[in-house]
Amino acid sequence: MKSYIPFENDDFEDIEKIKAIDSFIYRFTKIQDKMGDKFFPSVLRELEEYKNSMALIDVLHKLEKLELLQKSDDWIDYRKLRNSLTHEYPNNSEDVIEAINLSIEVYENMKSIYIKMLQRVNL
């Protein structure tokens, strides 16, 4: 995907790029969802820090406190990005392009978070 950034308006004409971007967006949103909904609570359970009543924001704050997330607000921003990728419309191409380019960069951050947490809990 890095070879596609910066994604630009003309790239909407390249069918192969569009297929790759669509596939990436689908996977990006699924990974973001699974990490927030399943993986983060599992990490906290492993560290005996999870309570069943915890909302996502509580999970994020606990991960930040344990220094497993640099800033919980970053993950909230990733979630907003995920939402914008799934709810933008084709006639809003500048916003779509900006979100695509940002998501490619954010993916690397998410990957680092995942690896750091795995190392911490030895999963």
Residue listed under structure tokens 């297929």: 19
Strand, helix or coil for residue 55? coil
Per the omega criterion (within 30 degrees of 0), is the bond before 6 cis? Answer: yes
pLDDT of amino acid 89: 57
CA distance 106 to 28: 9
The identity of residue 4, as a single letter, is: Y
This prediction's pTM = 0.82
Question: Could you tell me the two tokens for 15?
Answer: 């069918």
Residue 58: alpha-carbon gap to chain centroid: 18
Least-confidence region, from 2-6, 48-52, 80-84, 92-96: 2-6
pLDDT digits (tens, 9 = 90+) for 20-74: 888 888 999 999 999 999 999 999 999 999 999 999 999 999 999 999 999 999 9
Dihedral sign (CA 43, 53, 37, 89): negative
The rounded percent of the chain whose pLDDT value lies above 70 is 86
